[in-house]
Structure 1
């Protein structure tokens, strides 16, 4: 029996991740992909400008709602690009990545980079762990049975049906992200570059609203904003939802090694190039969580390596179709809404307690 096999389980897993990291690094999958990101970024800026050119050219017509939908798609892609920069996937320089993320998030998507970064880093450090991952914290949707059991009256009724209501609610996610960012900028005076982000977001909103009101009456302008935010929120939410919802929930005091924490709590979505673009590379969630700074186009190439590595170490690697993942999400949320059930308890809890 080898020395590795005789070590404690946690030590073996740490050594395993180091071995996987060496394989990924030797394959060149952590190298920057400047051509990809520059071409993709320039293309998105051109699409963004084309949308606003169409707004000015079309004038007062309900056809503007089609442009609003297209603008929602483009802004979503800027959100994904800002996510990549925030994870330092684009440039070697941390500073360049930080400012790229701030500009992409603020100027084009209207979101606060500082607020989102703090929230997202907490998610990556403890995916699906109670009292640690903000994505499963109490909110309109109850992500854990404990939250669901505490609800009464109308909130309890809503929670019992939350799986079927989840995707319609995503139409409000765009507005929720904007409000959350602004609220944090107002309340958190310690947020880095707070005044600059406030200036960027307020200036963007003023220009956005000013252009619309110069072309459309208030009613149509409001409909334009609603459609754009609805498409933006739905596409973002539909990209994030398949990644962790319905995967094991980790009790707050449970300690799990990095490899298993990131793999067992994440789910991949298989598909082709269209899926890759529509989900901004987040369909390779396992690879992204294991190597957050890996450039997006390299995630597909890393997938077979990571999958085979997990198979050889008997670490469950979960992957399904997009429709299949949505079914899991709806079923999980409806099950959570039943206070007599405790779905998807973490299988590692018994192992580590044992």
Structure 2
């Protein structure tokens, strides 16, 4: 019986974990989006269990890629063949599904980024991981304050007749300004439209500052579902914004494509298998290395009683995996 070759992409971020399965033609066979809930290992294992039940029994996992801020951890847990940063993963996904893309706007729950593509490669990028006013968490917080489901946010923004201007340089000031506009009697629709425009201004003035934003412009990340933000970007840039079908899992999709390309060169996958992933117990801890004045924070992942991986050091002395527990104290 012929088995279907499948490739997995895993994106572990601070807010969500995305898992995508594709075939050899990059068709998406299944995708999962779950909240991390501060428990990345447990939630990742659950996501992999859900993916296993979603896929047909006659599939063979031929390659796995990981990306996101927790990509190293995910790589050890699932047995990844490719570990890539978010810029590379988002870039390859956009170029695969929107070949003429030249600018990627990506806004997630806790960070945002812009990726400049020229001649089919990433030529420049910038990230914002400091101010919440340019991220999805900003909209979530304001939606909760307004007692409006975040899913209705964009729809209500488009109903605005006279949007108010909200100070968007800082999340704290924006919230204070929004409350002031409520007290002035401004309509909910106008305030929401103002919040959307404030987020876009913040993004363009910080993440997009100094970048040459050219069409085609692709909008990715969970916030791309918000039609109010999309409309605000189109008005601010003067370009039509393209939202890919799988906008919410483009990082994981890119990781899967990169894994497929890697194993096509003849490499055998390191994928642990769904059963082993679910059976094996992983725990993690962090500690400060005092071997020099850098005082690096080292993350140590344990698989049972053995060290599965360490990362975080600048010099690499802690990166030797599977070192026996009794030898760990010797590495200083």
- Tell me which interval the TM-score lies in, with the shorter structure as reference length: under 0.3
Q: Which has the higher helix share?
A: 1
TM score, norm. by length of structure 1: 0.23
Q: Which has the higher strand share?
A: 2
Q: Which has the higher contact order (CA 8 A, sep 6+)?
A: 1
TM score, norm. by length of structure 2: 0.24
